Amino acid sequence: MRAWSKLALLLVVLVPAVAACGPSPQGGDDDGTGDGGGSGSGIDASGDLTDADDTDSSCGAQNTPIMVENLGDPPDLLIVLDRSGSMSSPIPTFPPNFTPKWNIMRDALNALAADLEDNIRFGLAEFPTNDDCAVSNPGAVRVPIDINQAPEIMSYFTSRSPNGNTPAHLGLQAARSHYQGITANPAGRYVLFATDGEPNCSTDAATAATQTVAAVTALANAGIKTYVIGFGGGFVDDSVLNNSAIAGQVPRPGGPPHYYAANSPQQLATVLDQIAGGIIVPSCSYALASLPPNPNDVTVTLDGQIVPRSTQHTNGWDYHPDAMTITFFGTYCQQITSGAIANVSFVYGCPGPVID
């Protein structure tokens, strides 16, 4: 299933609406070469696309934007959320902030799902499911993994509140069971394990820690990678979270710590953005919201650098597979999928080069 990005801010490839300069009454560029490199083309000698305000009348005066949307396939992300009683307490800070951690997590996850529900197949599981140490399986998965689950995640938070202990390993085991019951997603399968405390629903702390890391290892062995968030400071056990993050096969870059620490609402939002951006693989194809007035009179850029049009699909861009989609080929596609590109733009009225 293909997904179109609604917001660019959380994607590895950012795709803004571009205020484009429209076709001129005269057509073409100032120097008559037709290659888009003339003094009035909007393209400078270094190959950069200049701001539309700097172009002269040969580039036209229209400012109708053409929206470009990433057409990548969405990966699966099952949130395994700690709803133990400690989530009802505030983050220990000075000066004090009395907002419960649960409310901060609720707002952050609702925002994430609303922004990226077209780009990530979200689900949500909780632990515990009662007010002690139990985790009902399959009842722990309150929001099944699917596209467009932002309303379901929001609904979950309206009906649930924190209470009980921290049977982390049981929540992670329930996550694996849920994945075993659905078709494997070739775009990726992930767990987001978010907790504010030590696992404590076993005979002793050491056993609880071992069971938690073992549950993450079992997920990894099933092809499901686990991101680990330690939220709210206080009683977070670094050793359990570090070992879980390493076992989950997607530790935080630059660690230790190998897990993602979030001790404020701002840090939590940033961490969630980083994780979400890391699992969305950018597509080399982008949808146009409207056709340009002259499809042959356009310039496409990656990070401000002009990409030549390649009608033979060797190394550049072209309309493919239809006139409402632009697709990158060769090294340009490789740059996008590697995450090296931050901005894709499509501007009409300023013709770019054609190589084949």
Q: Does 220 fall in a domain?
A: yes
Q: Does 152 fall in a domain?
A: yes
Q: Give the confidence band of 180 by pLDDT, cuts at 50, 70, 90.
A: very high
pLDDT for 338: 80
Token reading at 337? 């999928």
Q: Does 164 fall in a domain?
A: yes
In which domain, by residue range, is 169 found? 76-279
Q: What is the pTM of this model?
A: 0.72
CATH code where residue 114 lies: 3.40.50.410
The tens digit of pLDDT for each residue in 241-269 reads: 999 999 999 999 998 999 999 999 999 99
Q: Does 247 fall in a domain?
A: yes
Domain count, the chain: 1
Bridge partners (DSSP) of residue 140 are none
Q: Does 45 fall in a domain?
A: no
Least confident of 28-32, 133-137, 278-282, 328-332: 28-32
Least confident of 133-142, 177-186, 226-235: 226-235
Q: Does 204 fall in a domain?
A: yes
Q: Does 287 fall in a domain?
A: no
Q: Does 295 fall in a domain?
A: no
